[in-house]
A and B are shown apart, each in its own frame.
Chain A
Amino acid sequence: SAVISQKPSRDICQRGTSLTIQCQVDSQVTMMFWYRQQPGQSLTLIATANQGSEATYESGFVIDKFPISRPNLTFSTLTVSNMSPEDSSIYLCSVEDLRVQETQYFGPGTRLLVL
């Protein structure tokens, strides 16, 4: 199974600043996904990031607020820009699990608190 790491694991940030979250996978994958999980809530898909193309954002999420990079098949970054307390959340990346088609393998998440 894929091993996914995320950095940082947690952070406390001031409003108005930006944070870049890194997602590293130990194998090459085509599709990577970024989710947000607000306190006590379920996962909401932010965007799908495929290598070599622009990320595809879900309704309610825009590139200016959540720019994503996908420079190669094992790495992606998500930036949370101009943060406000409402951005306090857990951010998770996931990849398609090639062992079981259409399922996903998740990273441990980045816990973000914005003051």
Chain B
Amino acid sequence: SQKIEQNSEALNIQEGKTATLTCNYTNYSPAYLQWYRQDPGRGPVFLLLIRENEKEKRKERLKVTFDTTLKQSLFHITASQPADSATYLCALGIGAGNKLTFGGGTRVLVKP
């Protein structure tokens, strides 16, 4: 069966450290993978997109890697800040029509 798995346990991390989140998928062949941030009571906000032919993407303190052999993406928040506390969702782009399939999300809590 098709699955997108993110660590369901919350990630508690000290301010200034690097937070690393994983997104594993099975029985999918995505053309691209995206990461979103969701704060309580709000809709997700797009952060980064990485395509199947790309290994790494960066945006400010964020870095995403994509390994289509391992069927895994890693999402890094460097020099984390309390304001980075949120739930982070990965989403796969599969098929036509820009449809996204979301993982369960990982909650990150950055402690001062």
Contact = CB atoms under 8 A, between A and B. Distances in A.
A43 B32 contact: no
Contacts of B34: 102-103
Interface in B50-104: 89, 93, 97-104
Interface in B29-55: 32, 34, 41-46, 49
Contact of B97 (A43, A48, A94, A111): A48
B104 A102 contact: no
B23 to A, nearest CB: 11
Contacts of A109: 41-43
A104 B93 CA distance: 11
Q: Report the contact-size class of chain B (Cβ under 8 Å from the partner).
A: 20 to 34
Interface residues of A, number: 24
Contact of B42 (A43, A44, A56, A108): A108
Interface string A47-59: 0100000001000
Nearest to A4: B43
Nearest 7 A/B pairs, CB to CB? A106-B43, A43-B102, A103-B46, A42-B102, A42-B104, A106-B44, A92-B43
Interface of A: 4, 31, 33, 41-45, 48, 56, 92, 94, 96-97, 100, 102-109, 111
9 contacts: A42-B104, A45-B99, A100-B49, A102-B34, A102-B49, A104-B98, A106-B44, A106-B45, A109-B43
